[in-house]
Structure 1
């Protein structure tokens, strides 16, 4: 840990590459998250200017990854990070934001389940016709 002060060396830290590996985010994405204010704390730097992350940063980033993968808009994620950075006292606001997102995800899941049901039905139709040797002409646009 050359280039670090005694205080910095006392806190276990990870390089940007190590964090990228643990979170599945690219180094570019990690820099973007930092620039956009999506982290809840400042990223520490070595005296040489290299970013150093804590396990708390990694835990937060893993939450961010799941929120983004589930379709949370960047603006909502920024707002959530801002609320967390402010500290205690805004938990009801955080809950409202997360609950609204959960409701959107639930609606997406329901819509996907309906789509899956139609697809499963159609797979059954084709499988049945093929098994009976009667698949000719199924959805034939030329007839």
Structure 2
């Protein structure tokens, strides 16, 4: 399932962002229940809508650890796919690689790092919210200009 499919499913299920069921939608997306056996890099790249090069880069950046088969080919298990779904969402939302690396390092160090992870995610959430407000303003400005040219604006 490509990222576009993942996003379409998520957005259709999300509805209102303030809906308490939002967390369940995300949980279902990252559940990786469809991954019953390790997948090769090409399938994971296709599923996430990113390149195999990006997956190899994430591995070199130590964001993900990937098992290898007897031929040395990468094999992504359900846990790796779950992590990648989350990491790709963070990257898409603009989280810098160094912050991702720090976050993953904290995860790998154990539960005692949860407070610091929470701080990172809350700060990133604030950044995303600011970006959304900026995009909303940009949309309003674009709609205004469309209207000045006699075009129809969205409801």
Alpha-carbon contact 1:64-1:77 (below 8 Å) kept: yes
Q: Deviations over 1:99-118 (max 9, x none)?
A: 11111111111111111112
Q: Which residue of 1 aligns with 2:138?
A: 115
For the pair 1:25 / 2:60, whether they are aligned, the reply is: no
Normalising by structure 1, we get a TM-score of 0.76
For the pair 1:71 / 2:68, whether they are aligned, the reply is: no
Match of 2:116, SS state, is: helix
Query: How far 1:89 sits from its partner (Å)?
Result: 1.0
Alpha-carbon contact 1:46-1:52 (below 8 Å) kept: yes
Query: How far 1:87 sits from its partner (Å)?
Result: 1.7
Match of 1:101, SS state, is: helix
d(CA) in 2 for partners of 1:112 and 1:12? 40
For the pair 1:89 / 2:98, whether they are aligned, the reply is: no
Q: Which runs of 5+ in 1 are unaligned?
A: 1-10, 129-143
> Rg larger in 1 or in 2?
1
User: How many corresponding residue pairs?
Assistant: 116
Runs of 4+ in 1 over 4 A off after TM superposition: none
Q: Which residue of 2 aligns with 1:124?
A: 147
d(CA) in 2 for partners of 1:94 and 1:22? 27
Normalising by structure 2, we get a TM-score of 0.70
